[in-house]
Amino acid sequence: MKEFRPITKARDIAAGGSVLLSEKTIAGAENAKTFFSRTGNMTIFTLQTFRQTFSLPFEFREFLKQCFELGNRSLPLVAITGAIMGLVLTIQSRPILNDFGAESMLPQMVAVSLIREIGPVITALICAGKIGSGIGAELGSMKVTEQIDAMEVSATNPMKYLVVTRVIAATLMLPVLILFADAMGLLGSWVGVNIKTDLNIVLYFSRAFSAVEFIDFLPAFIKSFFFGAVIGLVGCYKGYNAGRGTESVGIAANSAVVLSSLLIIVVDLIVVQITDILI
């Protein structure tokens, strides 16, 4: 019997390994099921929002209110962020251009970088943190306090009143915020240029826009609408489908920021690839 003990131990180890492998397989299957379930729910929510957008009546007063809440109240943060972006980009790029004797090209380089990529993406990520978390927390608290259920009982369509207005407001306000951030970024870049040199602001902007063409501006402007739609949809989805506990409000706000930021990067990657193919 002693001779068969090593074989028994080997079988036990193999059995334990198979049990561990089966547990990992089950866990992986559950994660995949959860991922596809949430993706399907998000797709259905997006289609419902799109359908409700083109059905009457339209909550125009609530839409204007959300434009003010999401757009006007985000201007100070966007202005500061844009100015710092331009200032830092100028200070960091000056030594490199100076080594190649191309310091005079600094305004053109900053303008193209801000308008084509840095301005839209960084501003969208900042707005995902502010707007996305705000929408997720607001709708999540309404879900917890059963205000959404009360709206359904009182024959008010919460999808149209709460979701559609916020999604459209975010979609339309984000391009405006990005344009404002680009302008503040160029102004901050001018300040950065004048730290070591003395360059007139009119001459600076003349040099900056001499390298910018319409094809540089158009893709960035178009994808800013998609960024806004992503922020609005994700924030509304996470808040609208929050749990019943009070802690679900924080979870909805946090997950809205994380998911919208990730989707912004994915959308930017897709748009860049399409632009590279078409241009």
Q: Do 239 and 136 contact (CB within 8 A), yes or no?
A: yes
Report the C-alpha gap between 221 and 115 in whole angstroms.
9
Of 262, 260, 219, 265, the C-alpha closest to 239 is 260
Going by the DSSP 8-state scheme, the letter that residue 8 receives in this structure is H
Q: What is the mean pLDDT of the chain?
A: 83
- Residue for token digits 């309404």? 142
Model confidence at 17: pLDDT above 80: no
Residue by residue, DSSP assigns 216-241 as: HHHHHHHHHHHHHHHHHHHHHHHHHT
pLDDT at 120: 92
High-pLDDT (> 70) share of the chain, %: 91
* Amino acid at the residue 192: G
Q: Name the burial class of residue 69, with classes exposed (0-12), middle (13-18) and buried (19+) by CB atoms within 10 angstroms of its CB.
A: middle
pLDDT at 227: 93
pLDDT at 1: 43
Tens of pLDDT along 46-98? 888 888 888 888 888 888 988 888 888 889 999 999 999 999 999 888 888 88
Q: Do 132 and 257 contact (CB within 8 A), yes or no?
A: yes
Going by the DSSP 8-state scheme, the letter that residue 131 receives in this structure is I
pLDDT at 70: 87
- Residue for token digits 């962020």? 81
pLDDT at 7: 47
pLDDT at 168: 92
Once rounded to an integer, what is the mean pLDDT over residues 32-59? 81
Residue 98 or residue 270, greater confidence: 270
For 13-22, 83-92, 244-253, which range has the lowest pLDDT when averaged over its residues? 13-22
Compute how many other C-beta atoms are within 10 angstroms of the C-beta atom of residue 123.
29
Residue 67 or residue 3, greater confidence: 67
pLDDT at 279: 67
Domain locations in the chain as residue ranges: 1-55, 59-278
pLDDT at 3: 47
Compute how many other C-beta atoms are within 10 angstroms of the C-beta atom of residue 112.
16
Using DSSP, state whether 10 is helix, strand or coil.
Answer: helix
Model confidence at 37: pLDDT above 90: no
Q: Do 142 and 239 contact (CB within 8 A), yes or no?
A: yes
pLDDT at 184: 93
